[in-house]
Chains A and B, each alone.
Chain A
């Protein structure tokens, strides 16, 4: 080392890395790459910024200046004195009507609200696998509880229905073990009918037993009605859709024929015509006075409609399964119901999730169509009683913005959940 020439300066530590050139880092780099990478993109970026700024500048004072406390559109205009501003007072005054419709008794608003909160509790264990499994017991009770809360009446009605379903399930399990699936199903149905028949005497005898004030179906309205229709129809149409999809793949010609005709017919008909049928035509088939509940008619029609779509989505999932899965199930000696339950459907349904969620979101938004058959869902309330009341006629943007916000929150939530679920259920690379 000593014979080396004397070097004036030797660096003992490496030069600290200098910051990258300003054009290659951070915000500037990102903007250069994404917004201004060539002159077409630059022009588009500038145009977009111009329009976004224009919209924000135009709408912010309108929203910010909004009036919240008046009792009619005229008063809004007087308060605003010609300046730009929204008349949010309509939301404040008609808030309850938009959520619950205009006929639901005000002192009972807590009931649908509680039912909605419990709905979140009920679907949590179904949606999130990590929650304790015994919360599913509550999910099973929930539909009956919600019915009782929203419609009122004696608690015995939903209890009897629940008991009949339990009896049907027990009968099914017992008979299936002894004789097989078909007879099991049949005896289950018989048990349900029997308990319902006997229970109807009990409910008729004790109409005041732990009763809430009953609310008629035609008094339901507002966003509550959209949520009821959406939740009930989606949850009913998934099982029905599975049955239809399996039926369409069946080897038995009659069952296959019925399913194909049903699915193709429903898919070939617009939902709105089915709703008109539910509203006006069905009344002709019943003798006067024995009108089947309008909500029930609409639920049946929407459920049938979405079941046909879900059946096709699930059929896609079934078709995507390799042939080997079916053969593997057969080679294990499983009969048809077992093979479907244990091997085929779990895989097929997982593949179908995006499609099912797509149908569910579409269906939820389609529930606003009931406004054309004079049911007062959120859109029906806005189009009918609110925007044609003497105080608020002429209001438009405020109401529809509110409706858009409510629907967006719910639909965006559903879509985020489905993406999360797909990630959870992903089995291709672990």
Chain B
């Protein structure tokens, strides 16, 4: 599969100069819809509700970009992709943007010819064990059987971590998160490892959440973010600055409630530039002046999107942690709008 992806990426890289990158922005505008790759379902990040409308934290990025480019946050064609098909779907031009819990790694960025436009969630791989196991650190897991999802970076991180600590383990590879959780509950493995956000989400839905603990160890950096193809920098800029607009809006206190009055003009020049009442930032991107305003109105600023989809008040119940604004001690930081 990796080879296919690689060959495919090469083929497309060759074609890209002539065809694909003739202007993704123009293609999207002509089509009237943004083709956005998402997961086939991760609680809180991307899931269709009972009416078939996609909801979630990653979905909000797609909707914001659609709102910025097309003026309608519902003008998105969601293309569900699996861990195996996501990169070919992007490389072949089937989707314009991939917002699918994808870890930004060097080989994906360089070798697969993609361009990560930012990070919308800083995750890290963790371990969950039954409380009855009496383990307080992952370093004590010598000889454990470990449930892991295949085709993800977690598999490699796991091997690295156990090798670095000089302990052994027995992997139980599994295709989807829900199957892994089921096997873990049935006792087929001592440890379940994946990104800590997913661990928290699944533990929240266990019959007895208190019988399981997430160990404090974080064994990897998992910066998750949206990505686009190499070779169309204009389109990459639009995706990057739409994400930055959501982050900056939170930093500057622009919310979906007060955006209407703020867009009339404020004393803060950066807010004015962001919302288009001053400067020509939208024009530089090839969009109109109100692009960022529409992006923010589609689901709120970064903080609002976080709280409504995966925040403490939801079933997922994630704390901001690393994903707090830099002013609050987190890593979420946007370059300035000027």
A388-B89 CB under 8 A given contacts A102-B52, A280-B4? no
Shortest distance between the CB of A209 and any CB in chain B (Å): 24
Is A390 in contact with B19, judged by CB distance below 8 angstroms?
Answer: no
A374-B177 CB under 8 A given contacts A102-B48, A385-B48, A390-B315? no
A281-B4 CB under 8 A given contacts A389-B41, A393-B205? yes
Interface of chain A residues 43 through 73 with chain B (CB within 8 A) = 72-73
Is A393 in contact with B82, judged by CB distance below 8 angstroms?
Answer: no
Residues of chain A with a CB closer than 8 A to B182's CB: 394, 396
Is B207 in contact with A374, judged by CB distance below 8 angstroms?
Answer: no
Is A384 in contact with B43, judged by CB distance below 8 angstroms?
Answer: no
Residues of chain B with a CB closer than 8 A to A284's CB: 8, 11-12, 92
A383-B11 CB under 8 A given contacts A73-B205, A280-B4? no
Is B49 in contact with A393, judged by CB distance below 8 angstroms?
Answer: no
Interface residue? B176 (CB, 8 A): yes
Is B40 in contact with A374, judged by CB distance below 8 angstroms?
Answer: yes
Is A393 in contact with B178, judged by CB distance below 8 angstroms?
Answer: yes
Interface residue? B27 (CB, 8 A): yes
Interface residue? A203 (CB, 8 A): no
Q: Which of A94, A104, A384, A388 has its CB near the most chain B CB atoms (within 10 A)?
A: A388
Shortest distance between the CB of A359 and any CB in chain B (Å): 27
- State which of A287-295, A309-317, A418-426 sits at the interface with chain B: A287-295
Interface of chain A residues 212 through 234 with chain B (CB within 8 A) = 218
Shortest distance between the CB of A284 and any CB in chain B (Å): 5
A77-B85 CB under 8 A given contacts A385-B41, A394-B181? no
Is A385 in contact with B40, judged by CB distance below 8 angstroms?
Answer: yes
Residues of chain A with a CB closer than 8 A to B175's CB: 383
B176-214 vs A, CB cutoff 8 Å, 1 = contact: the mask equals: 111101100000000000000000011001110000000
Q: Which of A74, A103, A288 contacts B52 (CB 8 A)?
A: A103
Q: Which of B11, B176, B206 contacts A388 (CB 8 A)?
A: B176
CA of A70 to CA of B57, assembled, Å: 25
Interface residue? B42 (CB, 8 A): yes
Closest A residue, CB atoms, query B205: A394
Q: Which of A103, A288, A388 contacts B40 (CB 8 A)?
A: A388
A396-B178 CB under 8 A given contacts A384-B41, A385-B40, A388-B40? yes
Residues of chain A with a CB closer than 8 A to B80's CB: 374, 376, 384-385
CA of A326 to CA of B181, assembled, Å: 61
Is A280 in contact with B8, judged by CB distance below 8 angstroms?
Answer: yes
Shortest distance between the CB of B251 and any CB in chain A (Å): 28
Q: Which of B11, B19, B27, B49 contacts A389 (CB 8 A)?
A: B49
A388-B42 CB under 8 A given contacts A102-B52, A372-B82, A373-B85? yes
A residues contacting the other copy or chain, number (CB 8 A): 40
Shortest distance between the CB of B49 and any CB in chain A (Å): 7
B13-34 vs A, CB cutoff 8 Å, 1 = contact: the mask equals: 0010001100000010000000
CA of A281 to CA of B4, assembled, Å: 8
B217-244 vs A, CB cutoff 8 Å, 1 = contact: the mask equals: 0000000000000000000000000000
CA of A385 to CA of B45, assembled, Å: 11
Shortest distance between the CB of B205 and any CB in chain A (Å): 4
Interface residue? B171 (CB, 8 A): no
Interface residue? B300 (CB, 8 A): no
Interface residue? B88 (CB, 8 A): yes
Residues of chain B with a CB closer than 8 A to A74's CB: 205, 315
Residues of chain B with a CB closer than 8 A to A376's CB: 40, 80
Is A288 in contact with B178, judged by CB distance below 8 angstroms?
Answer: no
A281-B8 CB under 8 A given contacts A73-B205, A389-B49? yes
Closest B residue, CB atoms, query A77: B207
A274-288 vs B, CB cutoff 8 Å, 1 = contact: the mask equals: 001001110110011
Residues of chain A with a CB closer than 8 A to B27's CB: 289
Interface residue? B314 (CB, 8 A): yes
Residues of chain B with a CB closer than 8 A to A287's CB: 19
Interface residue? B94 (CB, 8 A): yes
Shortest distance between the CB of B136 and any CB in chain A (Å): 26
Residues of chain A with a CB closer than 8 A to B177's CB: 388
Q: Which of A72, A106, A373, A393 contacts B201 (CB 8 A)?
A: A393
27 A-B pairs, CB-CB below 8 angstroms? A73-B205, A74-B205, A103-B52, A104-B52, A276-B1, A283-B92, A288-B15, A288-B93, A291-B94, A373-B82, A374-B40, A374-B81, A374-B82, A376-B80, A383-B175, A384-B176, A385-B47, A385-B48, A385-B80, A387-B41, A387-B178, A388-B40, A388-B42, A391-B315, A393-B43, A394-B181, A394-B182
- List the 5 closest pairs (A to B, CB-CB), nearest first: A388-B41, A384-B40, A102-B52, A288-B93, A283-B92
Not counting A280-B4, A374-B79, A393-B201, a sample of 5 additional A-B residue pairs whose C-beta atoms are within 8 angstroms of each other reads A280-B85, A380-B40, A388-B39, A390-B43, A394-B202
